[in-house]
Amino acid sequence: MELAEAIILAVLAASTPLLIAATGELVTERSGVLNLGVEGMMIVGAACGFAGAWLTGSIFIGALFGIAAGTLMSLIFALMALGLAVNQVATGLALTILGVGLSGLIGAGFVGERITPAVHLTIPGLTDIPLIGRVLFGEDAFVYFSIALIIGVWWFLYRSRAGLILRACGDNHVSAHALGYPVLRIRTFAVMFGGACAGLAGAYLPLAYTPFFIPGMTAGRGWIALALVVFSSWRPGRLVVGAYLFGAVTILQLHAQGWGVGIPSQFMSALPYLATVTVLVLLSRTRTGGSTAPAALGTVFVPDR
């Protein structure tokens, strides 16, 4: 039971940054914008988040630093892809390269430093319940926030007028513009939200997952978050399942090596991406041809002058 509890806790910790980053990217793509710079925004958020926490001694301020860093990075993307109508794929890739280099510059003076990680919730009598106590009542604030975030995004997208307008911009920006909706402004806010989530997801790594910063500590999690959005068919409910599934694969591959299971670790690392490809193949065989993505995703929009 203790081993099962330890594995579940590790899966939750590994899945939280994926869920937060993928939730932000889901909103961004629902507006019709494809931002491939999630990895770059995450790593800058990790560097700035650790720097903020180390300088102030506050995890909360460190998280705010990470959010601010991700948002500023996303504004660079918005300026290029929305303001200047530059190709979104090329802009996103350039943002990732910029983020990797910028994070190394920001975090160079903090390598080797350590902080006190985010505290975990403790409720007497509940946290001590075997197996489920620490899982439900003993996590840090980031884990609970990630659940609240995905619920809030689901409500926004499917139960609010603003969410309907945002989805309309992603499905047919020409019609949305003809109805008088400011497509570029809506997409800019969606991109900023995605950047804030990516920055927070990156900040989670040095603030709660590991109490230190090292260059490249996101280790491709931004790309996994992008794959998760496709895996979930752009639906928040499936995104939760996918995030915890990908997190479980990440943790189980480590335990499999410890148990002596004769499966190459490289194959286990590739499983999340293999699962994404499998889902895409299955979607393509449906009667709708797998057309679950926003119809205008990645399409440049220039309003009539």
pLDDT of residue 153: 97
Q: Are 110 and 55 in contact (CB under 8 A)?
A: no
Q: What is the pLDDT of residues 176-219, one digit of tens each?
A: 999 999 999 999 999 999 999 999 999 999 999 988 999 989 98
The secondary structure of 136-156 as a DSSP string is HHS-BHHHHHHHHHHHHHHHH
pLDDT of residue 257: 64
Which carries the bigger pLDDT value, residue 21 or residue 281? Answer: 21
Which residues, at least 6 apart from 159, have a Cβ–Cβ distance to it below 8 Å? none
With cut-offs at 50, 70 and 90, classify the pLDDT of residue 302: confident
* CATH code for position 182: 1.10.3470
Q: What is the pLDDT of residues 128-182, one digit of tens each?
A: 888 788 888 889 999 999 999 999 999 999 999 999 999 999 999 999 999 999 9
In a domain, 101, yes or no: yes
Q: Which of 153-167, 261-275, 278-292 has the lowest mean pLDDT?
A: 278-292
The model's pTM:
0.92
pLDDT of residue 261: 67
Number of domains into which the chain is organized: 1
Nearest to 244 by CA among 4, 7, 1: 7
d(CA 21, CA 99): 15
In a domain, 303, yes or no: no
With cut-offs at 50, 70 and 90, classify the pLDDT of residue 26: very high
- 291 three-state secondary structure: coil
Tell me the torsion sign for CA atoms 31, 16, 223, 249.
negative
pLDDT of residue 304: 73
Structural domain boundaries, residue 237: 2-284
The secondary structure of 16-37 as a DSSP string is HHHHHHHHHHHHHHHTT-----
In a domain, 298, yes or no: no
In a domain, 248, yes or no: yes
Which carries the bigger pLDDT value, residue 31 or residue 279? Answer: 31
In a domain, 297, yes or no: no
Neighbours of 287 (CB within 10 A): 5
- Residue 199: its H or E element: helix 183-204
In a domain, 167, yes or no: yes
In a domain, 100, yes or no: yes
Name 120's bridge partners: 140
Q: What is the pLDDT of residues 210-249, one digit of tens each?
A: 889 999 899 889 998 998 898 888 999 989 998 998 888 8
In a domain, 42, yes or no: yes
d(CA 255, CA 191): 37
